[in-house]
Amino acid sequence: MTSRSLKAKAAVVDTGVLLEYLTLDKTKKDSRKYFNYLNSELFQNHNYKQIFISFLTKTELLYISCRIKGWKKAKEYVSSLVNSFIIVSNDEIDELAALIKCKIPIALPDCFNLAIAKIYKIPAYFLEEKELSSQTQRKIITELNIDLHIIQKRV
């Protein structure tokens, strides 16, 4: 599949967004609203038939879930979740992630997701966080030419 054919049919999603989505208490009204927002924006958005993640996103989901649920449950939980995602890892992404890390002071897993977005020409969804200041966001958008979407944290 070429990068051109992925345009508007796929998106890359950062660990923070996935963790927010997974840890929502759907019995609470505000959480349901946020859950519905994420569903409409990403997971049930007909523009995005594929969700991409990096191998580091899967690793982050595993270790964070392990701390909450224990290893066995975390493995089952994360495996079932990422089963519908495309986990991307290749030399081109590795090199671009390293270059991004060299130029922009953000976490390495974020660099991998941005590299996926850049190479496949797909939007990248990240959770609002201090590390992604407005200056850093501008740099990602202008210098890397990435369609960056920042999801606000639930209140």
- 142: exposed, middle or buried (C-beta count within 10 Å: 0-12, 13-18, 19+)? exposed
> Running DSSP on this structure, what letter comes out for residue 129?
-
Can you give the pLDDT at residue 3?
A: 46
Q: What is the pTM of this model?
A: 0.87
Q: Which two tokens stand for residue 69?
A: 């649920």
62-72: pLDDT as tens digits: 999 899 889 99
> Tokens 């569903």 correspond to what residue?
39
> What are 77-121's pLDDT values in tens digits?
899 889 989 999 999 999 999 999 999 999 999 999 999 999 999
Mean of the per-residue pLDDT values of the chain: 88
